[in-house]
Amino acid sequence: MITKREIDDILREYQKGKITIGTLGSHSALNIFKGAKEEGFETVCICRKDDEIIYRRFPLADEIVLVENFSEILCDDIHQRLRQTNTILIPHGSFNAYIGAEKIRNELHIPLFGNRELLQWETDREKQREWLQRAGLTLPKTFKNSNDIEGLVIAKLPGARGGKGYFLANSSEAFHKKAEDMIKRGHLRREELENIHLQEYTLGVNVYPQYFHSPLKNEVELLGVDKRYESAVDNLGRIPASEQLQLPSNPTYTVIGNIPITLRESLLPEILRMGENVAKMSKEIAPPGIIGPFCLETVITDELEVFTFEISARIVAGSNVGIGTSPYAYLNYGEGMYMGRRIAREIQIAIKNDELSKVVY
């Protein structure tokens, strides 16, 4: 495991006036790079050939390091290159997805803006539930066995898949029938069947608040709220019910993009407290707790009850809706604040106060 001490040793060698902000070219990289540029940093993008067009057409990366696949970031020569340019990496959703939490903890010898331990918590549904529950949040019920299914459940396939292949069932029979269908369609492997997570389906609307915990100010800020635009569930309503009934397949929840939301103001007290409680609890479960961005995935019912079903312990792609500004960032900062920039701002302040070690792990 990479120790804090090792990271501090690397940091000590860094030229603090010449820090580079780096990340993988994917997910929220444009958001991160734009924010870094606006705060005066150099930027480096670890990029796959196919994606290079993004970072050429939106020229925010000062340097592009081409790789065959993202796990090459673990190689010695890239490590050296990144350290020579005093790089701090900003983890986003593709880090866990393509490098893996375990390798991030053990093999990524580059200073990271964030808490490596909590990145690992987010890959484990049980651990996530523990974190959220201990923070006092309301969670949807889960069912250990398909025979216990009561009411409508959402069946979630193992691993982070952006909702791909998830399906609904209201009984054990329906569950098995649909699971077979998912296997046939290639969304699911038979040996994964028993690892499917069955969760009470909460009827309401999806709301994803994006928070930033500043270890320097010891404060949680709400920077934006979004919802996801998911294919094909989000457009089922465009076809008549009679045609819906005849659809051969189960709809899935594949994320295509994000849509900004402003919440009714009466929901803000709870949303703000939830963020604070999650940050507070993070200090207990994995000191020093969450560093920088995190996001809760919630469903809000018509009774205005907020159910939280997941947490992301890093920047989420939903914060891309706030590039430039969002209503909540605007209320705090005026023009021009958003998650990518807020990250860079925290690093900038840390450098100025000689507190970089407090935000980099």
Q: Report the nearest approach of ligand ADP to the CB of residue 293 (Å).
A: 16
Nearest to ligand ADP of 160, 272 (CB atom): 160
Report d(CA 192, CA 169) in Å as an integer. 17
* Min dist. Cβ of residue 297 to Mg ion (A): 5
230 binds Mg ion (CB under 5 A): no
Q: Which residues pair with 300 in a beta bridge?
A: 205, 306
Nearest distance, CB of residue 309 and Mg ion, angstroms: 7
Q: CB 154 → ligand ADP: shortest distance, Å? A: 5
Residue whose C-beta lies closest to ligand ADP = 163
For the window 267-306, what string marks contact with Mg ion as x by the rule CB under 5 A?
------------------------------x---------
CB closer to ligand ADP, 83 vs 161: 161
Least Cβ distance, residue 152 to ligand ADP (angstroms)? 9
Q: Does 226 bind Mg ion (CB under 5 A)?
A: no
The yes or no reply on residue 310 touching Mg ion (CB under 5 A) is: yes
Which residues neighbour 180 within 8 Å (Cβ) at sequence distance 6 or greater?
none
Q: Residues with Cβ < 8 Å from 122, sequence gap 6 or more?
A: 96, 101, 128, 311, 312, 313, 314
Residue 31 or 206 with smaller CB distance to ligand ADP: 206
Q: How far apart are CB 255 and Mg ion at their closest, in Å?
A: 8
Beta carbon nearer to ligand ADP, 228 or 341 = 228
Q: Which does 156 bind (CB under 5 to 8 A by kind): Mg ion, ligand ADP, none?
A: ligand ADP
Residue placing its CB nearer to ligand ADP in the complex, 168 or 323: 168
- Which residues of the chain form contacts with ligand ADP (CB under 6 A)? 140, 154, 156, 160-163, 166, 199-202, 206, 228, 230, 253, 297, 299, 309-310
Q: Closest CB to ligand ADP among 47 and 153?
A: 153
Residues that bind Mg ion (CB under 5 A): 297, 310
